[in-house]
Amino acid sequence: MQHADPIAAAYVERWNEATSSSTPGTCPIRHVLDKIGDKWSMLLVMTLASGPRRFNQLHREIPDISQKMLTQTLRDLQRDGLVARQVFDTKPPSVEYRLTTLGQSLIVPFGRLIEWANSSMPGIAAARSHFDAFS
């Protein structure tokens, strides 16, 4: 073990347990990571984090997503229980999306990662320019 940090060491151990106990293809962690890395999921989660939105309202706030991917991503999030969909039977019909409790519980751990990304950016940029210059 290389870490003075016991918290990191604990996470590594838990990771090893989790990944070794499941078959390579069906690892449940992978499914979560796929959503994180997926182009739109987390953007939608963080957008909905500040309150419920209607379909076209989301589309206006995120102009560069296609309707197809907006629909698809929302359905996947709903399927996983992170987002709730509520239909109001008005004319014309309106549909509201909001984070579930489960969805809200993702904000903090995800936020830690964003925090890391922001504070590590300078170091990454420096490493990258050094690498590109000398390799």
Partner DNA sequence: CGGAATCCTTGGGGATACTG
Partner DNA sequence: CAGTATCCCCAAGGATTCCG
Residues that bind DNA in the complex, under the rule CB under 7 A: 38-40, 54-57, 64-69, 71, 74-75, 85, 92-96
Q: Is 110 in the site for its own copies (CB under 8 A)?
A: yes
**Using CB under 8 A, which of 64, 92, 133, 134 touches its own copies?**
64
Choices 37-45, 66-74, 86-94; region in contact with its own copies by CB under 8 A: 37-45
Q: CA-to-CA distance for 22 and 19, rounded, in angstroms?
A: 6
What separation in angstroms does the CA of 85 have from each of 36, 45, 75, 129?
Answer: 21, 13, 9, 45
CB of 114 to its own copies, least distance (A): 6
Q: CA-to-CA distance for 44 and 65, rounded, in angstroms?
A: 10
